[in-house]
Amino acid sequence: MTGIWGIVNVTPDSFSDGGRYLDVDRAVAHGLALRADGAGVLDVGGESTRPGADRVGDRVEQQRVIPVIEQLVAAGIPVSIDTLSAATAAAAVRAGARIVNDVSGGLADPEMRAVVAESGADYAIGHWRGFSVDMYANAQYGRVARDVASELHERMSEAASAGIAPSRLIVDPGIGFAKAGEQNWDLLRGLDEIMALGPRVLIGTSRKRFLADVLRHDSATNAEVSEARRDLATAITSAFAARAGVWAVRVHNVAATRDALAVAHAWTA
Ligand code: PMM
């Protein structure tokens, strides 16, 4: 059965829950609530990857995430650290994180693969073509799913060369990262090509702009698409992803996606 990663963003400016969980206690309480809702892993991040977001620096990032990770680990919860920084990944693993979630797949920080190899943590590698400020400039593809699969394959080889066992890898096609609007749907339609790579597949559609775009086109006004509607869209894409056989989905609203996965599972069981 497809697992659920619950998102704990400890940032003032992330996609959708930015600012709400900056306070350590509130972030921990939010993580515990997501765990109670059915999250198997809590993915803790201290730097937004939102298009156009600024980098924060290791010191601030670690001040945000380490105390939160320590408390969630103390509560017995499997934790992943969402970071582009090798230093933050190392500190997070020392604090008890079991998985390093690197949306850049090792491209952003030259030290990352060595740190992960040494740490013994599992390594989630995303498809990525550059930092948030200019990521849409890189959104050029022949065929999106094929190109993403082949670049992820390169990242897998680089990880293996750095001494990370293939069994520790998780691959993520990086929905929204250097992909504009319709390219995300092309990628999801071609998910089989990502599945064929071999490792466990993680996918994150939660509340992303390409979902809001679909809902906005269906509406008379151009108003902001509510969180509740984006969560419903996320639950639906998560159910389709489960049907395609993905190992886990990364979401903000764990309860909604848990329900969608239960229904998808009842259909396919
Ligand atoms: N997306 C975001 C952040 N981290 N990690 C993985 N593995 N996959 C993703 O798609 C992904 C990620 C951006 O979303 P957020 O700021 O709402 O968490």
Distances (CA, A) of 267 to 20, 109, 200, 239, 264: 36, 42, 22, 11, 5
Supply the pLDDT for residue 177: 93
Q: What is the mean pLDDT of residues 254-261?
A: 98
Decide if pLDDT at 242 tops 70: yes
Six-digit token string for 8: 């704990």
User: Which of these is catalytic: 35, 129, 179, 250?
Assistant: 250
Q: What is the pLDDT of residue 224?
A: 86
CA–centroid distance, residue 43 to ligand 1 (Å): 9
Ligand 1 within 6 A of CB of 80: no
State pLDDT tens for residues 183-216.
999 999 999 999 999 999 999 999 999 999 999 8
Q: What is the pLDDT of residue 136?
A: 74
**Residue 82 Cβ contacting ligand 1 at under 6 Å:** yes
| pLDDT at res. 68 | 97
Indicate the average pLDDT of the chain.
92
Residue of the nearest CA to atom 14 in ligand 1? 15
Rounded to the nearest angstrom, the distance between the alpha carbon of 204 and the centre of ligand 1 is 6
Closest Cα to atom 2, ligand 1: which residue?
49
269 pLDDT tier (thresholds 50, 70, 90): confident
Q: Kindly tell me if the per-residue pLDDT of 9 is higher than 50.
A: yes
176 contacts 207 by C-beta, under 8 angstroms: no
Confidence check: pLDDT of 13 > 60: no
Q: How far is CA 78 from the centre of its chain?
A: 15
Residue 96 dihedral angles phi and psi, to the nearest 5°:
115, 0
Q: If you count them, how many residues does the chain have?
A: 269
Ligand 1 pocket member 178 (CB < 6 A) = no
Lowest mean pLDDT of 134-138, 205-209, 257-261, 262-266, name the range.
134-138
Which protein residue has the closest C-alpha to ligand 1 atom 1?
204
HEC secondary structure over the chain: CCEEEEEEECCCCCCCCCCCCCCHHHHHHHHHHHHHHCCCEEEEECCCCCCCCCCCCHHHHHHHHHHHHHHHHHCCCCEEEECCCHHHHHHHHHCCCCEEEECCCCCCCCCHHHHHHHHCCEEEEECCCCCHHHHHHHCCCCCHHHHHHHHHHHHHHHHHHCCCCHHHEEEECCCCCCCCHHHHHHHHHCHHHHHCCCCEEEECCCCCHHHHHHHHHCCCCCCCCCHHHHHHHHHHHHHHHHHCCCCEEEECCHHHHHHHHHHHHHHHC
Looking at mean pLDDT, say which of 16-20, 169-173, 217-221, 222-226 comes out highest: 169-173
pLDDT of res. 109: 96
Which has the closest alpha carbon to 235: 261, 203, 208, 266? 261
Closest Cα to atom 10 of ligand 1: 204
CB atoms within 10 A of CB 264: 20
Pocket mutation for ligand 1, best pick of 9, 54, 82 (most atoms within 8 Å of C-beta): 82
Residue 19 has pLDDT above 70, yes or no: no
206/26: higher pLDDT: 206
For residues 170-184, one letter each, b for 16 or more C-beta atoms within 10 angstroms of the residue's C-beta and e for the rest, the string is bbbbbbbbbbeeebb
| Cα 11 to averaged position of ligand 1 atoms, centre (Å) | 13
Whether 102 is in the pocket of ligand 1, judged by its Cβ within 6 Å, is no
- Angle among Cα 245, 250, 252 to the nearest 5 degrees reads 140
**Average pLDDT estimate for 237-263:** 97
* Residue 15: pLDDT band with limits 50, 70, 90: very low
Q: What is the pLDDT of residues 63-116, one digit of tens each?
A: 999 999 999 999 999 999 999 999 999 999 999 999 999 999 999 999 999 999
Beta-bridge partner residues of 43: 7, 80
The predicted pLDDT at position 55 comes to 79
pLDDT, residue 126, reads: 98
Higher pLDDT, 135 or 58: 58
Burial class (CB in 10 A: 0-12, 13-18, 19+), 186: middle
At 121, the amino acid letter reads: A
Residue 268: what pLDDT? Answer: 85
